[in-house]
Amino acid sequence: MLRDLIDLVLPADCPCGGPGPFCPACQAALAGPPEPAAPTPAPPGLPPCLAFGPYDGPLQRILLAYKERGRRDLAAPLGDRLAIGVARLLANGPAVLVPVPSTAAAVRARRGDHMERLARRAVGTLRRDGRRATLLRALVARPRPDSAGLSAAERAAAAGDAFRVRPGRTGPLRAGLAVVLVDDILTTGSTLAAVADQLRSVDIPVCGAVVIAATRRRSSPTKACRDPNRQYLSVVNSNRG
Ligand SMILES: [Zn+2]
């Protein structure tokens, strides 16, 4: 109990189990540049996405520690990465960051909306870097069943019903503002596609998305061996939004 309290104030261990709170090796795992990432096949309406690496190893441990083990201090390095991704996605001009919302149940379980926290940090970082940036909590997540174990098609169907636009939350958007979705993990892309569809339905075009990590494509073993580093990457050539 006392150890838990101490860990809440000052985490003793890094997410990797090494000396904490955030070891140089794990910092390095977050330090790479954002790269275009897309699932294969990409769902219709998925905006161009940037990710900082595959969802495994250090990135997975860091995200799980942040999301599921109360390591809120990691919102700073993770949010800063989202800011870098947004700056990469938009050469200039003001940015509107729309975090993919969690369900009310997930917010309660995690004592807060983990993506809203990251988006808030990213907006602050962008502003400190001299960019105009705004957080827009444009969406709410409907209660939904756990997607674990669902097929890609089942996930897509569930994702289509998963979000709705908050009434009155989209008023401040003006022409020229670039809306960027931010999320933690890109898997099938169905969540980001569904969110982008919801925003398009109220005339808000989405110019792209930034995530921390993208799951590796479950491709055939021969393909995976031939190109182990690039299997999660697929260059997005055009804005299909
Ligand atoms: Zn570490």
**What pLDDT does 225 receive?**
33
CA–centroid distance, 17 to ligand 1, in Å, is 6
CA–centroid distance, 11 to ligand 1, in Å, is 12
The verdict on residue 9 lying in a domain is: no
Please check whether residue 117 is in contact with residue 141, taking contact to mean a CB–CB distance below 8 angstroms: no
The verdict on residue 237 lying in a domain is: no
CA–centroid distance, 28 to ligand 1, in Å, is 9
**What pLDDT does 179 receive?**
94
Which CATH number covers residue 193? Answer: 3.40.50
Among residues 59, 87, 82, 62, which one has the least CA distance to residue 72?
Answer: 62
CA–centroid distance, 178 to ligand 1, in Å, is 35
The verdict on residue 89 lying in a domain is: yes
Q: How many C-beta atoms surround the C-beta of residue 123 within 10 A?
A: 25
What is the mean pLDDT, run by run of 10 residues, along the chain of 241 residues? 56 87 93 94 94 95 94 96 96 91 91 96 97 92 76 74 79 72 96 93 92 77 35 32 30
Range of the domain at 152: 18-226
CA–centroid distance, 92 to ligand 1, in Å, is 34
CA–centroid distance, 191 to ligand 1, in Å, is 29
Please check whether residue 40 is in contact with residue 217, taking contact to mean a CB–CB distance below 8 angstroms: yes
The verdict on residue 240 lying in a domain is: no
CA–centroid distance, 65 to ligand 1, in Å, is 11
**What pLDDT does 134 receive?**
93
The verdict on residue 3 lying in a domain is: no
CA–centroid distance, 71 to ligand 1, in Å, is 13
Number of structural domains found in the chain: 1
Please check whether residue 50 is in contact with residue 88, taking contact to mean a CB–CB distance below 8 angstroms: yes
The verdict on residue 239 lying in a domain is: no
The verdict on residue 214 lying in a domain is: yes
**What pLDDT does 149 receive?**
78
CA–centroid distance, 12 to ligand 1, in Å, is 11
CA–centroid distance, 66 to ligand 1, in Å, is 13
**What pLDDT does 36 receive?**
96
CA–centroid distance, 203 to ligand 1, in Å, is 43
The verdict on residue 194 lying in a domain is: yes
Record the tokens describing residue 222, joined without a space: 């021969």
**What pLDDT does 9 receive?**
59
CA–centroid distance, 241 to ligand 1, in Å, is 37
CA–centroid distance, 199 to ligand 1, in Å, is 37
Task: Supply φ then ψ for residue 193, to 5 degrees.
Answer: -65, -40
DSSP 170-219: STT--TTPEEEEEEEEESSSHHHHHHHHHHHTTT--EEEEEEEEEPPP--
CA–centroid distance, 5 to ligand 1, in Å, is 21
